[in-house]
C-alpha cells in the first residue's frame, strides 16, 4: 500500500501555531526581520514525514512553509504582514552534513547541508523579479522573470497596438531583490592528502546576502541546482554545473568551532587539565615521532594555544598570536614539524615558499564573468584564528614576502586593487622554516647573514631556533635507536595525549579560556626586562639586550602557558617559563652572550659594536676626504686605533664589509673613497 504523504501547508500551519513560534513571529515583527529560522531537529520531532519531505522536495515544501508563515503572521501582527512583503522559512541544523566534494547528481533538487570556507564573494546586486514594461502606446505589461536572461513581452497587450518591439522597462514600478554569489571551498583541514580543494558556488538572495565574507567558515543549507554550460554561438552542453541555492548560511568564522565537542570530550579535557604535569604531557604529545627538540616542541605548545589579543581604547589591536622561526641544517625535521603543526591545529594550513605568491598569501582581485571585480581570500586569511605553516620562507621572492609584514604585526590583510579597497582579518600564528644560505649554519656569521630573510620580517618572530646537525656519539646513538624503533613499529609512536583529543583540547582552551596577567607575573616579567636593559649600562656603545617587542612576546608566551593548563590567571611560574624559553631563543641566535645581550643582531642584522664600528669608519673617511681626495688605508687604520680605539684587525673587517655592501669603494690598491649614491 502506498504511503499517504502529509499536506505540508496544513502541517506547517499547525507547527506555527505553537507558542514558541508565535513568540518568534512577534520578535520578527518588532525587529522587522523577514526570516524565521527553523531547527531541523525540532521539525523532525514534530513530524518525521514533513522533515523527510523538506529534504526530498524542498522547493514545494519551502513555498508552502512561507505561505503558512504569512497566514500566521496576519494573525500575530496584521500591520507588519501587510508591509513586510515576502516572508521566508529558513532551515538550519540538518543532522547529516554532506562533504562538499561528495555533492553530485543524486543531490540535484534536494536539500543538503555542508561546511566550507568562503574564498570569494561578489558585490551585492539587485535581481529583477517582476518587470513592468511600457509600450509607446502607453500600455503597461507585467512579466515575471526567471532564469539568467531578461524576459521581454512578445507583443503589446493593447488590441489596437500589438507592437512587437520598443518596450521600455520601468524600474520604479518593477520588483527587485538583493542577489549575491559566494564561492565556498573545502576546509583545508578536511582536504584528503594529495587532493586539490573543490569549491561550489552559492547563490544568496534577499535578506541572506552579506552574511559572510572571504575567510569566514560557514555551514550552508540549501537546494542543490544544476545549470547547463553554454558555449557562445553553439548553445547548451549536456554537461551541467552544480551550484547551491542557499536557504540559510551560518557563519562560524568569528570564533573557533566548538560544535564537535561532546560532553564526554569536555569531561576528558577538564580531567586532563588537572594533571600536575600537563605541560610536559602536551610537549611529549607534539610530534612524538620526531626525536628530541624539547625546546622547540615547548615553543610549538605556546604557538598552538596562543596568547590573548587585546584592543586598546583608541582601537589599536595588540596581537596574541605567537610566531616561530626554525632555521636549520638539512635533515633536521623542520618540514615534519611544520606538517605536524598544520595538522594538529584546529585551523591549520601548510604552504611552501617556492610555490607561494603575495596574492596567494593575502588576497587576489579577479575579474568575474560579468566584468566586475571580486576578492578571493588567500592562505593567511583562510587560516584566520589558526596556524599558517610556511616552509622554505627563505625561498620566497622578496616582493611576495613583503605581503607578510602587515599580517605578522597588525593581524590584517589590506587590499587596494582593481577598485576594491578592503581589510580582511588574518589573526594567524606563523610557523616558518628556513635553510641557511650556505647549506649549513655558519657560527661565525650572524643569524641575519645566515639566512635569506629581510630583517623587517626576522624581527617580527617571537622565538627563533637554530637546529644544528653536529656529530654527537651519545645523541646519534639514541637518535638511530629511535628511528629504527619507529620503523619496526610501522611508524606508530605512542603519544601521552592522542592527536584527536589534543586538537579538541586546543580548541576548547582557545575558545573558552582567556587568562589575565597576575600582579606577581607582571612584576616578574618587569624585573627581567629591567635587568636585561641594565646590562647595556647606559654606556655609549653598549649593546641592547632586549626591547619592548620581546617584553610583549613574553606576555603572549606566559598567557599561552596558562591557557594550556586551562587557567584563568597567569602565574609567576608561567612568566618564569616564558623567560627561560626566550633566553634559549636569544642564545641560539647569538643575541645573548655570556657578558651582555645584543638584540641588534635580530633587529638590524649586525651586533651593536659592528654597527657603531662601521659608523666610526664612515665618519673618519668623510673627514679625511675633505683634506685628501683619496683616503690611504694605512693612515685610516692608524687613526681608527688612536682616536676610536678600534684594533687594526677589526678595522680591516669593517672596511671589507663596507666595500662588499657598497658603502665604500677602492679607486686603486691601498686607497678607499665613500660611495656617492
- Residue range 105-114: average pLDDT? 89
- In our burial notation (b when 16+ CB lie closer than 10 A, e otherwise), range 95-112 reads eeebebbebeeebeebbb
Closest CA to 349 of 308, 378, 307: 378
- Residue range 575-600: average pLDDT? 67
Residue range 473-500, pLDDT digits in tens: 777 677 777 677 766 666 556 677 887 8
Does a structural domain hold residue 253? Answer: no
pLDDT range class, residue 1, cuts 50, 70, 90: very low
Three-state DSSP class for 398? helix
Distance CA 231, CA 16 (A): 47
* Of the residues 548, 577, 597, the one at which a domain ends: 597
Q: Both 88 and 205 in a single domain?
A: no
Query: What DSSP state is assigned to residue 217?
Result: E
Pairing of strands 111-121, 217-231: antiparallel
pLDDT the model gives residue 491: 53
Q: Both 492 and 641 in a single domain?
A: no
Residue range 453-476, pLDDT digits in tens: 777 777 788 888 887 766 667 776
Task: Count how many domains the chain has.
Answer: 5
pLDDT the model gives residue 93: 85
Distance CA 130, CA 296 (A): 64
Q: Both 574 and 543 in a single domain?
A: yes
CA 359 to chain CA mean position, Å = 14
Give the cell for residue 285: 604529545
pLDDT the model gives residue 360: 79
Residue range 41-75, pLDDT digits in tens: 888 888 888 888 888 888 888 888 888 888 888 88
pLDDT the model gives residue 677: 54
377, β-bridge pairs: 363
* Of the residues 501, 536, 556, the one at which a domain ends: 501
370 has a pLDDT exceeding 70? no
Q: Both 559 and 576 in a single domain?
A: yes
Query: In 10 A of CB 612, how many CB atoms?
Result: 18
Distance CA 150, CA 145 (A): 7
Torsional class of 23: left (φ above 0), alpha (ψ -120 to 50), beta (otherwise): alpha
How buried is residue 664: exposed, middle or buried, by Cβ count under 10 Å (0-12/13-18/19+)?
buried
Q: Both 337 and 480 in a single domain?
A: yes
Domain hosting 157: range is 100-248
pLDDT range class, residue 605, cuts 50, 70, 90: very low
Q: Both 297 and 446 in a single domain?
A: yes
Does a structural domain hold residue 434? Answer: yes
Least confident of 120-134, 440-454, 488-502, 589-603: 589-603
Does a structural domain hold residue 603? Answer: no
Does a structural domain hold residue 67? Answer: yes
pTM (2 d.p.) = 0.69
Give the cell for residue 199: 569549491
Q: Both 370 and 410 in a single domain?
A: yes
| Comparison of pLDDT for 454 and 175, the residue scoring more | 175
Query: What DSSP state is assigned to residue 462?
Result: S
pLDDT the model gives residue 608: 53
* Of the residues 501, 527, 550, the one at which a domain ends: 501
Least confident of 58-72, 144-158, 572-586: 144-158
Q: Both 355 and 382 in a single domain?
A: yes
Query: In 10 A of CB 431, how many CB atoms?
Result: 30
Does a structural domain hold residue 438? Answer: yes
203, β-bridge pairs: 181, 245
What CATH number does residue 431 fall under? 3.40.50.300
Q: Both 313 and 439 in a single domain?
A: yes
Map grid coordinates 654606556 to a residue: 539
Q: Tell me the pLDDT of the chain averaged across its residues.
A: 79
Amino acid at each position: 500500500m502506498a504511503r499517504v504523504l502529509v499536506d505540508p501547508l496544513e502541517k506547517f500551519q499547525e507547527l506555527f501555531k505553537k507558542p514558541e513560534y508565535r513568540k518568534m513571529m512577534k520578535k520578527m515583527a518588532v525587529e522587522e526581520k523577514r526570516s524565521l529560522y527553523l531547527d531541523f531537529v525540532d521539525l523532525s520531532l514534530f513530524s518525521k514525514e514533513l522533515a523527510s519531505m523538506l529534504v526530498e522536495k524542498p522547493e514545494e515544501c519551502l513555498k508552502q512553509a512561507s505561505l503558512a508563515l504569512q497566514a500566521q503572521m496576519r494573525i500575530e501582527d496584521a500591520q507588519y504582514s501587510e508591509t513586510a512583503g515576502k516572508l521566508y522559512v529558513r532551515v538550519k541544523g540538518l543532522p547529516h552534513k554532506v562533504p562538499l566534494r561528495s555533492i553530485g547528481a543524486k543531490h540535484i533538487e534536494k536539500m543538503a547541508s555542508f561546511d566550507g570556507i568562503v574564498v570569494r564573494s561578489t558585490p551585492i546586486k539587485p535581481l529583477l523579479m517582476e518587470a513592468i514594461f511600457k509600450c509607446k502606446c502607453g500600455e503597461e505589461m507585467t512579466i515575471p522573470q526567471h532564469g539568467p536572461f531578461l524576459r521581454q513581452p512578445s507583443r503589446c497587450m493593447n488590441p489596437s497596438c500589438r507592437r512587437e518591439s520598443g518596450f521600455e522597462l520601468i524600474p520604479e514600478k518593477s520588483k527587485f531583490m538583493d542577489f549575491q554569489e559566494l564561492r565556498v571551498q573545502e576546509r583545508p583541514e578536511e582536504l584528503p592528502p594529495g587532493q586539490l580543494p573543490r569549491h561550489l558556488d552559492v547563490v544568496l538572495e534577499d535578506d541572506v546576502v552579506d552574511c559572510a565574507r572571504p575567510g569566514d567558515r560557514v555551514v550552508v543549507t540549501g537546494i542543490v541546482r544544476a545549470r547547463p554550460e553554454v558555449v557562445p554561438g553553439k548553445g547548451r552542453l549536456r554537461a551541467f554545473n552544480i551550484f547551491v541555492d542557499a536557504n540559510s548560511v551560518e557563519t562560524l568564522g568569528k570564533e573557533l568551532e566548538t560544535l564537535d565537542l561532546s560532553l564526554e570530550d569536555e569531561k576528558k579535557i577538564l580531567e586532563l587539565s588537572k594533571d600536575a604535569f600537563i605541560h610536559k604531557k602536551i610537549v611529549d604529545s607534539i610530534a612524538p615521532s620526531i626525536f628530541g627538540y624539547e625546546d622547540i616542541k615547548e615553543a610549538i605548545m605556546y604557538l598552538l594555544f596562543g596568547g590573548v589579543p587585546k584592543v586598546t581604547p583608541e582601537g589599536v589591536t595588540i596581537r596574541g598570536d605567537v610566531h616561530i622561526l626554525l632555521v636549520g641544517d638539512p635533515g633536521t625535521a623542520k618540514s615534519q614539524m611544520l606538517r605536524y603543526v598544520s595538522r594538529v591545529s584546529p585551523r591549520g594550513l601548510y604552504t611552501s615558499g617556492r610555490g607561494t605568491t603575495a596574492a596567494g598569501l593575502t588576497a587576489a582581485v579577479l575579474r568575474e564573468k560579468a566584468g566586475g571585480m571580486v576578492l578571493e581570500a588567500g592562505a593567511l586569511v583562510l587560516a584566520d584564528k589558526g596556524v599558517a605553516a610556511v616552509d622554505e620562507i627563505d625561498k620566497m621572492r622578496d616582493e611576495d614576502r613583503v605581503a607578510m609584514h602587515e599580517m605578522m604585526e597588525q593581524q590584517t590583510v589590506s587590499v587596494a586593487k582593481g577598485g576594491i579597497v578592503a581589510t580582511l582579518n588574518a589573526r594567524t600564528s606563523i610557523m616558518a622554516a628556513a635553510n641557511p644560505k650556505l647549506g649549513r649554519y655558519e657560527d661565525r656569521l650572524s643569524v641575519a647573514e645566515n639566512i635569506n630573510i629581510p630583517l623587517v620580517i626576522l624581527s617580527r618572530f617571537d622565538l627563533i631556533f637554530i637546529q644544528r646537525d653536529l656529530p654527537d656519539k651519545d645523541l646519534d646513538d639514541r637518535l638511530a635507536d629511535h628511528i629504527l624503533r619507529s620503523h619496526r613499529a610501522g611508524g606508530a609512536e605512542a603519544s601521552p595525549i592522542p592527536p584527536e583529543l589534543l586538537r579538541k583540547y586546543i580548541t576548547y582552551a582557545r575558545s573558552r579560556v582567556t587568562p589575565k596577567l597576575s600582579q606577581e607575573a607582571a612584576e616578574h616579567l618587569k624585573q627581567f626586562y629591567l635587568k636585561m636593559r641594565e646590562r647595556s649600562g647606559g654606556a655609549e656603545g653598549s649593546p641592547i639586550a632586549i626591547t619592548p617587542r620581546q617584553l610583549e612576546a613574553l606576555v603572549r608566551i606566559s598567557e599561552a602557558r596558562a591557557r594550556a593548563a586551562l587557567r584563568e590567571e597567569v602565574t609567576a611560574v608561567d612568566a618564569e617559563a616564558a623567560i627561560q624559553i626566550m633566553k634559549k631563543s636569544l642564545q641560539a641566535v647569538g643575541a645573548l652572550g655570556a657578558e651582555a645581550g645584543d638584540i641588534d643582531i635580530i633587529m638590524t642584522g649586525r651586533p651593536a659594536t659592528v654597527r657603531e664600528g662601521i659608523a666610526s669608519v664612515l665618519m673618519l673617511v668623510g673627514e679625511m676626504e675633505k683634506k685628501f681626495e683619496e683616503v690611504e688605508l694605512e693612515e685610516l687604520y692608524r687613526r681608527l686605533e688612536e682616536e676610536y680605539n678600534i684594533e687594526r684587525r677589526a678595522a680591516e673587517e669593517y672596511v671589507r664589509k663596507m666595500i662588499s655592501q657598497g658603502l665604500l669603494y677602492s679607486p686603486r690598491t691601498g686607497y678607499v673613497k665613500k660611495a656617492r649614491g
